[in-house]
Structure 1
Amino acid sequence: MTQSKHNLTATIPFSCMGERLDAALAQLFSDYSRNRIQQWIKDGKVRLDGVVNTKPRHSVLGGEQVVLEVELQAETDIPAQEIELNVVYEDDAIMVINKPAGLVVHPGAGNPDGTLMNALLYYNEALREVPRAGIVHRLDKDTTGLMVVAKTIPAQTHLVEQLQRHAVERIYDAVVVGRMNSGGTINKPIGRNPSDRKKMAVRAVGGKEAVSHYRVLEHFREHTRIRVKLETGRTHQIRVHMSYLGFPLVGDPLYGTRFRIPRQMEPDFVDYLRHFHRQALHAGALSLTHPVSRKVMKWKAPMPDDMLELIDILREDVEIYEEQQLGYDEFDYEDYGVEVEWVTDEDIPD
């Protein structure tokens, strides 16, 4: 494998005063593991206020200017695979992808190939010389929507720095279970779930800062369509935050709760909800500063068909329910093999 090098710069926040250097840098450069950062420190790849520091245990004061010389292996061993990509924008520095549901971003355990990275290397062989084939942020396998990919190392460095400064705007559409009365902001740290390593959780101790701003777009009988703006970009952030608030995403296999429907919903609608087996989450808007032109650029991607159909069904359910008269004959849901938790009118807040 060949090595690629580029520098990342940042200012250590005063909130890190007294922390170990490796711990502070792991927060600043969260794309890299703490073990890797420790090794870079020991190898003399870190400069504080222009001075090389080789001690991971060094206590920071806050306010120091840090330069991290990143050394990464180019993606020479990842096979290129012909996988269709929906490229919504491309120039010499970046490309923007509208990722479909079911496409994993990086190869890993259980997904050795067939990923977005494999597709990118087939689409543009030159991306082998860019760490991670230019991928600077991720979407979960079954989350759809917009991702930016860097085509050069300088572009990648600039985009990573924007992400670290929370300067990249990412806005998501989602449908959650339950009637959310109003929008707001949730600022709860997220870390690995200690009892299930496949999941993340809100963790007061050991979690990383995670901030999500959300607003209500539309109410249904027992569901809500919302829009979420990320200030940070933690793994599963929206899914974890919404579940923590008691409004898990429709179809979320990890953070969802028991299947739940409004009373007297049409059996066909129940069946659709029952078989919606992915989180109803779409990265619909992306805004960033172009790494070369320095102009702010914005993109939007329409919601995929499955989410549009979900919303249409929930709207139609509201219309049908409002037209129903007293004495309506209820369906026998057991005939459909559906285990449900009935919601009465009294359970639905005004």
Structure 2
Amino acid sequence: MEKNKLIFRVKGNEEGMKLRAYLKDVQKLSSRLIKGAALDGRISVNNNRVKLNYIIKLDDEIAFDVEKKESQNIEPEKIDIDVVYEDSDLIVVNKQPGIVVHPTKSYPNGTLANGLLYYFKEKGEQCIVRLVSRLDMDTSGLIIIAKNQFAHMSLARDMHKEDFEKSYLAVVHGNLKEKEGIINLPIYRTDDGSIRRVVDERGQESITCYSVQESFNKGDLIKLTLKTGRTHQIRVHMTHIGHPLYGDTLYGQIEDKEYIERQALHAYRLVFPHPRTREMLELEIGLPKDLQELIEKIKN
């Protein structure tokens, strides 16, 4: 397997298809990806460049080059990157709290994307930052970045499937009566210019599964798995049922600075199919120091 190429071998039941249809319908590549690669001359059959209307034959070897020269208007910066998993298609990092994932007007530099571009440059890899998942500035934990357009397309598509698991650990105020359950309440963004979301019947379907991992005197450590990916979903749902996250000043409206300086939310587990091999990747990262210290404080 060449790291920069996808290699496909035509089977008997696929013979006679046009190359474009084969790549789209059999290999599940997006039309945009196929068109761009064809224009760049990055698709070949038996080492010969062909057009997308080429009729494929039994045992044809189709090579699809996923590497292309790209650039981003982001300044590379030397920032510590905690790499949890990496290969030629993707990288998963453990984001620290207080770091924005991508430059904005308010945070033009010092972001995870700035650090990743520096990291790629140092390794001699011509990658841009393609975020597959995102985390709020003050949420820590695992985040997926694709290294090429093919991996990004594949991972973004798979994110909405059942076998793609995103799980979090959170420390909340109070003790939940039900030790596990499903919160299925729509989340809506009001148009008052605020980033705040609310539970409202006008909103999008939002499903959060939870289970209490440990109970303490002043709160619970809970595991949450998202079935949908709405902005601030966990924070909105937990506040709505009366158990806001420690440190969540936007939704909790409780002064928690003596306990923790940010919302007590950590993306600790990812399970998803690898874009190229389709083998399941299972990645976990432990609780960061500030959440461990928070738990010690609320035990007594």
TM-score strictly above 0.5: yes
User: Is residue 127–residue 151 contact of structure 1 (8 Å, CA) maintained in 2?
Assistant: no
Q: What residue is the counterpart of 1:99 in the other structure?
A: 95
Partner secondary structure for residue 272 of structure 1: coil
Rounded Cα–Cα distance in structure 1 between residues aligned with 2:255 and 2:77: 38
Rounded Cα–Cα distance in structure 2 between residues aligned with 1:86 and 1:246: 34
Q: What residue is the counterpart of 2:199 in the other structure?
A: 202
Corresponding residue to 1:188 among 178, 185, 192: 185
> Are residues 303 and 190 of structure 1, via their aligned partners in 2, closer, same or farther at CA, if it must alter by over 3 Å?
same
Rounded Cα–Cα distance in structure 2 between residues aligned with 1:136 and 1:305: 26
Q: Does 1:305 align with 2:285?
A: no
Q: What residue is the counterpart of 2:217 in the other structure?
A: 221
Corresponding residue to 2:139 among 119, 143, 151: 143
User: Is residue 91–residue 145 contact of structure 2 (8 Å, CA) maintained in 1?
Assistant: yes
Q: CA deviation at 1:258?
A: 3.0
Q: CA deviation at 1:259?
A: 3.9
The one-letter code matched in structure 1 to 2:295 is: I
Bigger fraction of residues in helix? 1
Corresponding residue to 1:284 among 236, 258, 268: 268
User: Is residue 287–residue 298 contact of structure 1 (8 Å, CA) maintained in 2?
Assistant: yes
Gaps of 5+ in 1: 1-49, 51-66, 261-270, 318-350
Rounded Cα–Cα distance in structure 1 between residues aligned with 2:177 and 2:126: 48
Partner secondary structure for residue 101 of structure 2: coil
Residues 278-329 of structure 1 show CA distances to partners (whole Å, capped at 9, x for unaligned) of 00011111111011111001011010001011112222x1xxxxxxxxxxxx
> Are residues 219 and 129 of structure 1, via their aligned partners in 2, closer, same or farther at CA, if it must alter by over 3 Å?
closer
Rounded Cα–Cα distance in structure 1 between residues aligned with 2:236 and 2:166: 17
When the two structures are aligned, how many residues end up with a matched partner? 238
Q: What residue is the counterpart of 2:169 in the other structure?
A: 173
Corresponding residue to 1:233 among 229, 245, 255: 229
User: Is residue 127–residue 134 contact of structure 1 (8 Å, CA) maintained in 2?
Assistant: no
User: Is residue 136–residue 148 contact of structure 1 (8 Å, CA) maintained in 2?
Assistant: yes
> Are residues 119 and 257 of structure 1, via their aligned partners in 2, closer, same or farther at CA, if it must alter by over 3 Å?
same
Rounded Cα–Cα distance in structure 2 between residues aligned with 1:123 and 1:178: 42
Rounded Cα–Cα distance in structure 1 between residues aligned with 2:293 and 2:106: 30
Rounded Cα–Cα distance in structure 2 between residues aligned with 1:140 and 1:237: 11
Q: What residue is the counterpart of 1:257 in the other structure?
A: 253
Residues 213-233 of structure 1 show CA distances to partners (whole Å, capped at 9, x for unaligned) of 001112222311111011111
Corresponding residue to 2:107 among 98, 107, 111: 111
Rounded Cα–Cα distance in structure 2 between residues aligned with 1:313 and 1:235: 29
> Are residues 139 and 239 of structure 1, via their aligned partners in 2, closer, same or farther at CA, if it must alter by over 3 Å?
same
User: Is residue 188–residue 198 contact of structure 2 (8 Å, CA) maintained in 1?
Assistant: yes
Identity of aligned residues (%): 39
Rounded Cα–Cα distance in structure 1 between residues aligned with 2:162 and 2:95: 22
Counterparts of 1:64-143 in structure 2 under 5 Å?
69=32, 75-125=71-121, 130=128, 133-143=129-139
Q: CA deviation at 1:191?
A: 2.6
Q: CA deviation at 1:188?
A: 1.4
How well do the aligned residues superpose, as a CA RMSD in angstroms?
A: 2.5
Gaps of 5+ in 2: 1-23, 25-29, 37-69
Counterparts of 1:29-68 in structure 2 under 5 Å?
none
Where in structure 1 do 4 or more consecutive aligned residues deviate above 6 Å? none
Q: CA deviation at 1:127?
A: 7.1
> Are residues 232 and 128 of structure 1, via their aligned partners in 2, closer, same or farther at CA, if it must alter by over 3 Å?
farther
